[in-house]
Structures are given as C-alpha cells and as structure tokens.
Amino acid sequence: MSEGKPCDYTVKETQDYLVSGLTEDGRFRVLAARTTLVAEEGRRRHRTSRTVAAALGRSLTCAAMVAATLDDNQSATLRFLGDGPSGGIVAEGRNLGDHIGVRGYVANPDVELPLKAPGKLDVGGVVGSDGFLYVTKDLGLREMYTGSARLQSGEIGIDLAYYYTVSEQLPTAVSVGVRIEGANAAGASGRSGWVSGAGGLMIQVMPGHDPDTATQAIDLIQSNLDGIGPVSMRMKEGVLPEDLVEAVFRGVGKADLLNRVPIKFECRCSRERALRTLSTLGEEDLRRLAGEQESTEVRCHFCNEVYRFSAQEIREYASTLREENEESERDPS
C-alpha cells in the first residue's frame, strides 16, 4: 500500500483491520493489526488443534502486514517450513486496495504438543526452529521475487523480523499473538477452544536511516513493546491498533497513520477453478473416474472448501478437454 494516501477507509469497529504509517521524522514505518476474526476463521475452517490455531493465526497476521507494505494488487506468500510436527505453514496476503485478503493452511492441522509453560502454547515446537522462511512476492512482473532466511525460533514473529533484517536489509521488530480460550485452555491438547484475541505489530527502520544512529530510539521502542505485553491479550481487552501504535512510540515521536484498511479471510478458489485442477488427469482418466463413482470431491488447501462434481459433470468436462486439445492441435500457435 503506497504511503501518502489519506486514511479514508471505512472500517467497522468489530472488523479486523490494519493501520500503517510513518513517524514524523520518516525514520520508522509502523503497522498494527487486529486479526481476531481472521485467526478464528482459519482455526474453524481447518479444524486445527489449539497450538496450530495460534501458529496459523500468527502467520496470517504476518501475511497481512507484509501485504500492506506492497502496492495495490500485489501479494506476498509466506512459507514457514520448519522441522516441527505441523509439517509447514503457508499464509498468503493480497493487497486489494480497499482491503487486505488473507488465506492459509497447515500441512498437519491437528497435531498438538504439551504447554511449554502454564498458559503458554508451544508454537515454536509445533513449527520447528530448523528450517527456512520463504517469502514470495507477486509484484505484477514477469517473474515473482522469492527471498529466504533460516528460522530462528519457529515462533513466527521473530522469524519474519529476522527475514526482513538479513534478506531485505530492513531492520525490523515484529510482535504477533493469538489468544485461545475455551475447553483445555489450561490443559495440554485438544481441538476445543476459540480465538478471543489476535493481532500484530511491525516496526521497521526505513531505508536511508542508519539504525546505529537511532540506537536510543530503538531501545525505547523495544522497551515500549515489552511494556505492551502480549498483543493478543490487548486485542481481547479491546485495545485498538491505533492505541498500540501510540504506545509503542511513546517518548520517541508521533506516528502519522496514513492508511486504515479492513482485513478479511478470503480465498481465490471457485467451483470453476476446482474443476480445472482435474485437467491433470486427462480425458481418459476422467471418463474412467466418472464410471467408477457417482461424484468426485476437490478440496482447496487454503480454505478447506470442498467442491463436489457429479459423474455427468466429469464426463462433460472430459469432453471439453478433448475439444480444447483438438483445437490446440489444429492451431499450435
């Protein structure tokens, strides 16, 4: 999202949303997000364990904040591929101008680990600290840009901050959190529970400003971050992203918030796209499939939506593929 645009988006107070801006001296960029509904939608759709829900929610929050640093109609995909039992997390954020769309999934959504401390979910253990974070940006060019960095903890926020610092040479601090309530909230495992608060903060030293000359300000920002406490708890309490920005820059300077935009969990899948994925089977296998079962299911990895196609629909699609292949052979150009 380009800086300098006036903050003119209408956001309901119950919605997830993100604010972004710069300090008056231009040294720091800040993004703050409330993602409670997004994190809960991810948990609900993928039927995750409590710890995986926290990991996925953090990843979706990070994807939203990264997308907000891009221009309209650009996107970023974050892949946290550690050695933990989750098997990897993928989260995508798209800057659509009037809102940020996010979606994501976990390879093994139902895995669980014991609490690593009272009330503390072991997100780092589920993700794993031996592996890489890959960030792929679709900037509308002929080729996508992909950068990577080694995971530092598997806690998501720390890993994104390290990626920005070493891969994009942009010193960054990230704080993200997801609060899980309900059954087993004090126990070790289970799918029960729901997201009662989720959000994130990201602060970056802007290019052209030497972080060594801003040591005092950075130390104060870090102290303020520590004083804020868990972002997820602040979101549960009703603290607004704007309040977080004010708190994190207290004593440092005023941040001018230039954008305020909704965040939504939304997927690009559709019935037509789901049917298209069956084209890899080829006409012959599709007809065989239609003869063996009354219906065929296609499940979207990102949102877990299931699309069902009757045997007749599969036969019709096989015929469509044949016609397309014949047309391609007649006109190879």
CATH code (residue 301): 3.90.1280.10
7 pLDDT band (50/70/90 cuts)? very low
Instruction: State pLDDT tens for residues 49-97.
Output: 999 999 999 999 999 999 999 999 999 999 999 999 999 999 999 999 9
In a domain, 12, yes or no: no
Task: Give the pLDDT mean for 25-36.
Answer: 95
Domain assignment of residue 60, given as a range: 17-265
DSSP output for 16-79: -EEEEEEETTSSEEEEEEE-HHHHHHHHHHHT--HHHHHHHHHHHHHHHHHHHTSPTTEEEEEE
Alpha helices, DSSP H, located in the chain: 36-46, 50-68, 123-127, 157-167, 215-228, 231-236, 241-248, 271-276, 282-292, 311-330
Residues 254 and 301 in one domain: no
CATH number of the domain within which 258 lies: 3.55.30.10
Instruction: State pLDDT tens for residues 255-291.
Output: 999 899 999 999 999 999 999 999 888 888 999 999 9
- C-beta separation of 225 from 62 below 8 A: no
3-state helix, strand, coil in the chain (%, to 5): 35, 30, 35
- pTM of the prediction? 0.89
Residues 224 and 126 in one domain: yes
CA 301 to chain centre: 14
CA-angle at 189, arms to 186 and 191, nearest 5°:
105
- Computed over every residue of the chain, the mean pLDDT equals 89
pLDDT at 330 over 90: no
Instruction: Please tell me the predicted confidence (pLDDT) of residue 188.
Output: 40
Task: Give the pLDDT mean for 99-128.
Answer: 95
In a domain, 10, yes or no: no
Residues 51 and 115 in one domain: yes
Looking at 235, 265, 295, which one is the last position of a domain? 265
Looking at 265, 289, 305, which one is the last position of a domain? 265
